[in-house]
Amino acid sequence: MTSDRIRIPAASSSFPQYGDILPDLMLSYVDLPASLKSCFVYCCIYSKDYEIEMDLLAMQWVAHGLIEEKKGMDVEVTANQCIDDLINRCMTEETEEGDVKLHDTLHDLASYIGRKEYSHASPTEHTSHLSLLDVDDAETSMHNVSLVANKLHTLFCAFLPSEQFTNIKWLRVLSLEECEMDELPNSIECVSLLKYLNLSYSDVKRLPSSIDRLWNLQTLDLSYSKIEEVPEEIGKLCNLRYLGLEGTEELKIVAEGLGKLTNLQTLKRFLLCNDKEDRRGCNIKVLKDLNNLTGKLSIEGLGAARKEVNLGEAQLLKEKHLLTGLKFDFEEQHDDKVADASEQSCILEALEPPHCLKNLKIRHYKGEMPSWYLKTDYTKLRILKLENCPLSEKLISITSLEKLELNKCPAVCEIASMPSLKSLKIGSCDGLNTIGHDMPALESLEVDGCGRLEQVADDHMPALKMLNLTNLKAVKQLPTHLPSLEVLTVQDLPNWEGWPAIGSRETTISMPRLREAGLENCPKMQTQGLLYALSEQEHDYEPRLQELRVWDCPSARLGWKLLKQLPNLTDLRLDREALESTLPSPLPSEVSTFLPSLEHLTLTDANVDKLKWGRVPEWVWGLSQLDSLGLQGFTEEISLGGHWQCLQELVRLELYDFPNLKSLVDINNTTSLQNDAVATTSPTDAKEQLACLLNLEDLVVSCCPAVDLPQELRDSLED
């Protein structure tokens, strides 16, 4: 496809803007093994910044014969190794979603090397790989296809008339992603060499009967399309290795011809028929001969009543040793006859997973947990998720488990210790009263709505980095020694006592790595112990806290003595009660000296008269470095004019619930500046104030009925 003998220009005339960068990258390309060169260049068929799904890219390479087959190894495995190799060589990059893409400069390099064979929109006589996804004019697109139809091996487009299928007989890869066609034409049979067909996110509802003529087809992706039926003819696609059915919400029928696809490796989603076996899916026995399935498989429709599954057929999944993930979904449809608990137990007992399984999820299961669930043979299991399983009572210790999620499992009363567990997420498990104490590897713990739980963590979780607790009525104490904790979120803990003062039963606090703390609606939470820990104890470290949020915690008393110990604070969100202090508020000229890093400030005034600020405290205007400011509930404030020139860096301003606020700009050009020690009058210019506000990128004013804004500001409002 591409030659190893490539002239390296001093500066490519095609890409002069990159100067000497392109030649340097060309050397990286020349250094690639021969098997990777064509794979790298092929990526330029996608537009810049396009995030390419790894599995589909691998299957396209396979379709074009770019991947060298190795004895004893599936070609898909080799293709994925090629992707990893390109990533490790920095020739492609992996995105956060697990896809890959080319950096703009690398895309230019690939396009430069493959400029004869690869084209976007404007093909030449040498073009064999064409993408028309960036062409809006359908007529122009079809004209471009006609020019090179008998030479094309790859075609990406959003529309293709039926007559064109007869002209592209040499095609290997066809992507009609997001196309608006309701149905593929019967002329698809003319593309008999086709190995890859992508109809994902399309409007296609039906596949023609002539689909059975695509004997060479290896990949058929229908993910997130409007497909309603997978026909019986699918069983004649003997070379099919990838069938994408994820997100096909309109799918009603999957013919049992699926069971003939013995080369199928990727299925991901398997739909079962209901008790009448006349709609929505297949009989579960169809899985019997699909022994080459790899990766993850979701089996849906298990909750509908059906004929009893023969336990003698329990090898349906157990011998599928290439499967790494299974999801058993018992959620029933609205018109299903629901299987009772004993029927569901029988079904799940028969679906014993292979022992090589790494990921297991069970949803909406009403039966007893199967016998295989208690076995210790699953030594590779890394992830376990149980959702809405009311009869699941106890979780045994799974030494290999790294991630555990439980949601709406009310019978679970205990979670055993798991030495390898890194992430634990629990929600709405009302019977839970104990979490295992020996979890030395645990890094993330989230617990929500477990009414009986009294203790959620202890000092034997040395690796814990994130602790998120919500709606726990029985919890009174939290651990005080968490050396690795970075993020703490506590919300709706009515009986948690927080960090009492020295002399009570909790006297020491050690969270040296704490970076973010959010505390909300904890009426008994005390903070004196935290204040002592940060201000009076001798530390070998400087507090790392960068974000602090305290709302609706009337017993909290943070005060300026604490805030002065937090020089790295960048985000502060408080209500008046949290900031109550016996110390006077600082002068505006002082506040930025002990909060030098603060960029985001949100203040809410109190409803209690003796605690109310009434007006925005003057120290706020001394924070000249603020990037965003949010103010709420200052009922006595009439005008905020005269201050905005103090906040030259401000880009976002939010004002909520100022019932008496009349203006943001001081029309009289004078403003009274008041604080506890000083009262002065300073002339200001209304135009200067207005100019500062107009420089904002975001301005939100809500529930301020009396405010009269200049028209220029009204045009800037979000709400």
Question: Nearest Cα to 456, choosing from 473, 439, 440, 479?
Answer: 479
Residue 17 has pLDDT above 80, yes or no: no
Q: Would you give the distance in Å from CA 486 to the centre of its chain?
A: 20
Q: For position 138, what pLDDT does the model report?
A: 60
What confidence category does residue 482 fall into, taking pLDDT thresholds of 50, 70 and 90? confident
What confidence category does residue 537 fall into, taking pLDDT thresholds of 50, 70 and 90? very low
Q: Measure the CA dihedral 373/374/375/378, to 10°.
A: 50
End-to-end CA, the chain: 56
Answer yes or no: are the C-beta atoms of 50 and 42 closer than 8 Å. Answer: no
Last residue of a domain, one of 113, 144, 167: 113
9 in any annotated domain = no
87-121 b/e (C-beta count within 10 Å ≥ 16 → b): eeeebbeeeeeebbbbeeebbbbbbbbbeebbbbe
What confidence category does residue 596 fall into, taking pLDDT thresholds of 50, 70 and 90? very high
Residue 506 has pLDDT above 50, yes or no: no
Report the distance separating Cα 89 and Cα 81, nearest Å: 12
Let me know the angle formed at the C-alpha of 650 by 645 and 654, rounded to the nearest 5 degrees.
105
Q: For position 682, what pLDDT does the model report?
A: 43
Question: Nearest Cα to 571, choosing from 546, 607, 535?
Answer: 546
Residue 683 has pLDDT above 60, yes or no: no
CATH number of the domain enclosing 89:
1.10.10.10
Answer yes or no: are the C-beta atoms of 454 and 474 closer than 8 Å. Answer: yes
Q: For position 312, what pLDDT does the model report?
A: 53
336 in any annotated domain = no
pLDDT tens digit string along 58-98? 999 999 999 988 888 889 999 999 999 999 999 999 998 89
**Which stretch of DSSP H or E encloses residue 534?**
helix 528-535
Q: Which residues contact 126 (CB under 8 A, 6 or more apart)?
A: 116, 117
37 in any annotated domain = yes
196 in any annotated domain = no
- Domain with 602 in it: 588-714
Could you tell me what percent of the chain has a pLDDT over 70?
85
What confidence category does residue 42 fall into, taking pLDDT thresholds of 50, 70 and 90? very high
Q: Is 618 helix (H, G, I), strand (E, B) or coil?
A: helix
Report the distance separating Cα 449 and Cα 509, nearest Å: 26
What confidence category does residue 305 fall into, taking pLDDT thresholds of 50, 70 and 90? low
Last residue of a domain, one of 86, 113, 140: 113
What confidence category does residue 472 fall into, taking pLDDT thresholds of 50, 70 and 90? very high
Q: Is 244 helix (H, G, I), strand (E, B) or coil?
A: strand
Last residue of a domain, one of 113, 137, 168: 113
Q: Which residues contact 110 (CB under 8 A, 6 or more apart)?
A: 40, 41, 43, 44, 102
**Between 104-113 and 21-30, two packed helices, what is the crossing angle to 10 degrees?**
70
Could you tell me what percent of the chain has a pLDDT over 90?
45
Among 188-202, 272-286, 433-447, 691-705, the range scoring the smallest mean pLDDT is 272-286
Question: Nearest Cα to 252, choosing from 218, 278, 217, 289?
Answer: 278
Q: Dig out the tokens for 225 from the structure.
A: 């399309």
Report the distance separating Cα 206 and Cα 675, nearest Å: 74
Per the structure, the count of domains in the chain is 2
What confidence category does residue 675 fall into, taking pLDDT thresholds of 50, 70 and 90? very low
Report the distance separating Cα 267 and Cα 66, nearest Å: 23
Across the range 114-118, mean pLDDT stands at: 92
Answer yes or no: are the C-beta atoms of 506 and 500 closer than 8 Å. Answer: yes
Mean pLDDT of the chain: 84
52 in any annotated domain = yes
Sheet with 414-415, side-by-side order of all strands:
394-395, 414-415, 434-435
Q: For position 670, what pLDDT does the model report?
A: 39
3-state secondary structure 413-425: CEECCCCCCCEEE
Answer yes or no: are the C-beta atoms of 169 and 194 closer than 8 Å. Answer: no
48 in any annotated domain = yes
347 in any annotated domain = no
Q: Dig out the tokens for 96 from the structure.
A: 């956060």
Q: For position 334, what pLDDT does the model report?
A: 62
What confidence category does residue 678 fall into, taking pLDDT thresholds of 50, 70 and 90? very low
Q: Which residues contact 685 (CB under 8 A, 6 or more apart)?
A: 669
3-state secondary structure 77-122: HHHHHHHHHHHHCCCCEECCCCCEECCHHHHHHHHHHCCCCEEECC
Q: What is the pTM of this model?
A: 0.84
User: Residue 691 — φ and ψ, nearest 5°?
Assistant: -65, -40
Residue 49 has pLDDT above 50, yes or no: yes
Report the distance separating Cα 657 and Cα 383, nearest Å: 46
665 in any annotated domain = yes
